[in-house]
Amino acid sequence: MLVGLQYADEASAQQIEHRRRLRKELSTHLHLEICVDKQAELQALVAALHRRGIAVILDVVYNHVGEPAHLMLIDKLYYFEVDNTGRLANWSGCGNDLRCRSAMARRLMIDSLIHLVEAYGVDGFRFDLADLISLDVLKEVERALKRVKPDIVLIAEPWSFRGNLAGALRDTGYASWNDGYRDFLRDYVRGGGTREQFEYFLKGSPWHYAKWPAQTVNYTESHDDKTWIDLITENADGNGQSPTSNDRRRTHLMAAVLFASIGIPMLAAGQDFLRSKQGVNNTYQRGDLNALDYRRLYRFPGTHAYFADWIAFRRSDAGRLLRHYSRASEGFFRFFFAPDSTAAAVIYNADRSQGPARLLFAVNPTSGDVTVPLDPGIAGGNWQQLADAERFHGLTGRGADQPVEGDLFIPGLGCGLWRDDG
């Protein structure tokens, strides 16, 4: 009896081990199949986007690792920033800042980036909290990637809780998210800001922030924190789920200034239909608030159309005066302001250095009507209005009635765009 039991136990153990090996082999096989399928799926996605003329820029996070912190199991002191007591640095807010300057961390970054370019055909990268990667490592990454793809797109989120290296990136091929622009425009549409700030940011943050126009990524909302509408809403609780009419008009002003500014305009998903997180600032792991509610397209179709038409205009031949690959001539811009106000009118190509066509953009972020005095010779002429604060109809050839007069009228929370073909 005891012998029989012993034999049965041995057979059972062998069967268990055999099944374990089979499960391991099957799991590995399935994992490889899934990896291959996912690789093919991403390659097909990138190729499909390229066929539509859309570049693919991946958001990559090399400043910290996830959980579990796998590199911690290899060498904590080598791969992570620590203080004298061995405590992990936390300038990222995630509690495990990567020691990017270490040789193998740099190799891990560069090899993985090159793989994404060569295997999947991506067009560029946006580097999360690039300040923690460090200037020297970012330059090394740039050199390595440009050997593989000379026209690679490189964008930095240039700050961390430690500092901001946007100024140091002016001599590199990186563009940077412009937080100064973000803060200014949020303030400006509510009647704040200064004339000097308006000129500086509309010109593309020249020299101090960006040595060439495409170094500034102009934006007013990103994936972090509150949405645009929650930040500027008149609602007392900071909840823009049901925006006021002024909230909507200020959003139109924001779109107009954003697309009229030199540099790279960036939109967060849902801004065109007044996306709200119901006033909540930190929505980490809040899928209910982070999900896009596309039904708002039907609540705010005019706002969606306004954004879409501005995008179409900026990409068109008529909008080329807003797209610059090098700094414009000194006389390219001419600015005019309403008395005692930040309401402004701007002429693009005032010196005709870019051909005969000119644009005139006017905006009034205050609640009261204003007039902006223009220089003699500007009024009248062949100006055709293309857009106002509610609609953009220049692409259909329908002109509005408002002429360009010596004292240009701009209603409260209003704007306008005109073109003169010369």
Q: Using CA atoms, how far apart are residues 363 and 411, in angstroms rounded to an integer?
A: 9
pLDDT band at 141 (very low <50, low <70, confident <90, very high): very high
Instruction: Give the SS3 label for residue 178.
Output: coil
Instruction: Give the SS3 label for residue 102.
Output: coil
Is the separation of the CB atoms in 125 and 133 below 8 Å? no
Give the phi and the psi of residue 288 in degrees, each rounded to 5: -65, -35
Instruction: Report pLDDT digits (tens) over 401-412.
Output: 789 999 999 999
Tell me what pLDDT residue 5 has.
37
pLDDT at 420 over 60: yes
Tell me what pLDDT residue 64 has.
95
Q: Using CA atoms, how far apart are residues 151 and 400, in angstroms rounded to an integer?
A: 41
Instruction: Report pLDDT digits (tens) over 79-137.
Output: 999 999 999 999 999 999 999 999 999 999 999 999 999 999 999 999 999 999 999 99
**Poorest-pLDDT segment among 36-45, 244-253, 343-352:** 36-45
* Higher-confidence position of 34 and 330: 330
Tell me what pLDDT residue 41 has.
93
Tell me what pLDDT residue 24 has.
58
Q: Using CA atoms, how far apart are residues 61 and 73, in angstroms rounded to an integer?
A: 20
Q: What percent of the chain has pLDDT over 90?
A: 84
Rounded mean pLDDT, 411-417: 97
Q: CA angle, corner 326, sides to 324 and 327, nearest 5? A: 95
Tell me what pLDDT residue 18 has.
60
Decide the pairing of beta strands 216-218 and 264-265: parallel
Tell me what pLDDT residue 57 has.
97
Domain boundaries, the chain: 41-322, 333-420
pLDDT band at 3 (very low <50, low <70, confident <90, very high): very low
Q: CA angle, corner 14, sides to 9 and 19, nearest 5? A: 125
pLDDT band at 2 (very low <50, low <70, confident <90, very high): very low
Query: Following DSSP, what letter does each residue of 109-160 receive, concatenated?
Result: HHHHHHHHHHHH---EEEETTGGGT-HHHHHHHHHHHHHH-TT-EEEE--B-
Tell me what pLDDT residue 377 has.
86
Q: Using CA atoms, how far apart are residues 224 and 61, in angstroms rounded to an integer?
A: 14
> Domain 41-322 carries which CATH code?
3.20.20.80
How many other β-carbons are positioned within 10 Å of the β-carbon of residue 340?
Answer: 7
pLDDT at 16 over 90: no
> Domain 333-420 carries which CATH code?
2.60.40.1180
pLDDT band at 10 (very low <50, low <70, confident <90, very high): very low
Tell me what pLDDT residue 37 has.
82
Residue 120 token pair: 């999947």
Instruction: Report pLDDT digits (tens) over 185-217.
Output: 999 999 999 999 999 999 999 998 999 999 999
Q: Using CA atoms, how far apart are residues 235 and 274, in angstroms rounded to an integer?
A: 14
* Higher-confidence position of 101 and 37: 101
Instruction: Report pLDDT digits (tens) over 231-289.
Output: 999 999 999 999 999 999 999 999 999 999 999 999 999 999 999 999 999 998 999 99
Instruction: Report pLDDT digits (tens) over 56-86.
Output: 999 999 999 988 888 999 999 999 999 999 9
Instruction: Report pLDDT digits (tens) over 100-113.
Output: 999 999 999 999 99
